[in-house]
Amino acid sequence: MNKIIEQTALIGGGVIGGGWAARLLLNGIDVKVFDPASSAERTLQEMLVNAELAYSKLTMAPLVKQGKIEFVDSIEEAVKNVDFIQESAPENPELKRDILREIEQYASESALICSSTSGIKPTTLQSEMKHPERFMVGHPFNPVYLLPLVEICGGEKTTAAAKQSAAEFYRNIGMKPLILRKEIDAFIADRLLEAVWREGLWLIRDDVATTEELDDAIRFGFGLRWAQMGLFETYRVAGGQAGMQHFISQFGPTLSWPWTKLMDVPELNEELIEKIVSQSDAQSGKYSIRKLERIRDDNLVAIMQGLKLNDWGAGAVLKEYEERLYEKAHSEIVASEPDLSKPLALFEAKVLPDWLDYNGHMTESRYLQVFGDATDAFLNFIGMDENYRKQGFSVYTVETHIRHLQEVAGGEPLLVETQLLGFDEKRLRIIHKLLHVPSGNVLATGEHMLLHVNTTAGGACTFGKILYEKLAEIWQGHQNLTAPEFVGNGIMNLI
């Protein structure tokens, strides 16, 4: 898909539609939302607040400028002149077909249309469409703005190209698209969830366990394994050195044992429903839904950040997403062609909630983080990008001197200006000024000596041609700037 999607429409702004809105907006994509419910706008805005808080903890990569949201009064207003449409209406095939019919009446013939349905086959939904080839299921998981999986299931008339285009779009907003090989009711993940849900109903009905005990069995046990390794890879590990073959030979025969009742579903009568509801109230009733959402989001962020350290599972997806965010932020700086006769404004940030100390001010470790991010922006500006690092070269910080001058509170905008103080064939010195944007006050300064290294050999080496020439270009302007009087205190001078 060559066309960059910047305008989208959401039909339905409830739990799933609102989650889509948050993910799209936080990835810089404009959204038009239609939902006939009077409470839709308020509920969605509340969800967006939680999503923003979650993203502030999810990644240190600079997020793109947030997209714009517009609540409209009709499907026609929503879908005109957009490139991507996500329908998230209730699970009613006839209702969804009516909505799709109206979408097609006003949408561009080239716009991709996806449904968030959790179980209805796309062939059923596209049966009355004029252009069914661009329609498919894009089934996400709650919270949509955090969980990366989206199942893509095409119908009989969906083209492979359309599915690939949707997958590329979802991937660019930090998701893990899973294109189904065959069309099937409830797709893949919900069929697995349904199996666990059915067994759970029996265990509750027969008083074997409560809702809390079942949740504990999952979240303290196999749920953590599933979160990072899935089902079959977990069982492969359980087989020891002999792997899956040994696991199947050892545990396969138990499939014939009468452990589960998956083929025999208990009647979901009033008695069982009341038992489930009362147990769930006892388990979680002390928390509001918004509080539970934040607890859930904090836990997911922590798991995904932990998995990112090992470049594994959902953490690998997050790492790839962060790299795209950094690349986009750095490429925008290069494209802007900053004035090299002045200090370079290469990095902006906002004091996030978890950057604060017990006094409500940015804690000192975060000053170093901001300066580190500003250094990364400078290095990328001179050409040390991923391709450069893949050649076995990098630039390491060997000395740092930070001056903490003023406090700054949460939510305040920050700007870092960077001045090149000098360089030779292997080293460079820079000074950062951390500015409070509204007042222009200098909050801190960071002076850094950096060394170019051959990462394979583990030693210093001369700059590559790209880096050296860019440093020379910057120095043409910066050599005429006055160095701050505090420069050099505690920092090794260039020889």
Please identify every stretch of the chain with a pLDDT value under 70, giving residue numbers as ranges: 1-2, 251-252, 254-259, 334-335, 489-495
| CA quadruple 356, 358, 360, 364: dihedral sign | negative
Q: Which two tokens stand for residue 309?
A: 């350290």
The highest-level CATH class for domain 338-478 is alpha beta
294 burial type by CB count under 10 A (0-12 exposed, 13-18 middle, 19+ buried): middle
* 16 touches 142 (CB < 8 A): yes
Looking at the chain, the domain(s) classified CATH 3.10.129.10 span 338-478
Distance CA 153, CA 135 (A): 9
Q: Which residue has the tokens 């265990």?
A: 203
- Write phi, then psi, for 36 (nearest 5 degrees): -70, -15
* Beta carbons of 130 and 104 less than 8 angstroms apart: yes
Residue 421: what pLDDT? 97
Integer CA distances (angstroms), 380 to 377, 389, 396, 438, in order: 5, 11, 13, 27
Q: What is the pLDDT of residues 17-54, one digit of tens each?
A: 999 999 999 999 999 999 999 999 999 999 999 999 99
pLDDT at res. 249 = 74
CA pair distance 335, 327, nearest whole angstrom: 12
β-pairing, 7-11 with 30-34? parallel
- Rounded CA-CA distance 209/259 in Å is 15
Residues 66-123: tens digit of each pLDDT: 999 999 999 999 999 999 999 999 999 999 999 999 999 999 999 999 999 999 999 9
- Is 7-187 a domain of CATH 3.40.50.720? yes
Residue 297 has, within 13 A of its CA and on its CB side, a CA count of 23
Check residue 1 and give its pLDDT.
47
**What DSSP string runs through 4-32?**
PP-EEEEE--SHHHHHHHHHHHHTT-EEE
Sequence-distant contacts of 434-442: CB under 8 A, at least 24 apart: 434/367, 434/370, 434/371, 436/406, 436/408, 436/412, 437/348, 437/412, 437/413, 438/412, 438/413, 441/406, 442/405, 442/406
Q: Measuring CA to CA, how many Å separate 87 from each of 7, 101, 124, 139?
A: 15, 12, 15, 10
Task: Give CATH 1.10.1040.10 domain extents, the chain.
Answer: 190-286
Where in the sequence of the chain do the CATH 3.40.50.720 domains occur? 7-187
Q: Where are the beta strands (DSSP E) in 248-328?
A: none
Q: What is the per-residue pLDDT for 2?
A: 56
Give the whole-angstrom CA distance, residue 88 versus residue 115.
Answer: 6
Nearest to 113 by CA among 93, 90, 88, 94: 88
User: With 0-12 CB in 10 A as exposed, 13-18 as middle and 19+ as buried, what is 264?
Assistant: exposed
CATH superfamily of 190-286: N-(1-d-carboxylethyl)-l-norvaline Dehydrogenase; domain 2 (1.10.1040.10)
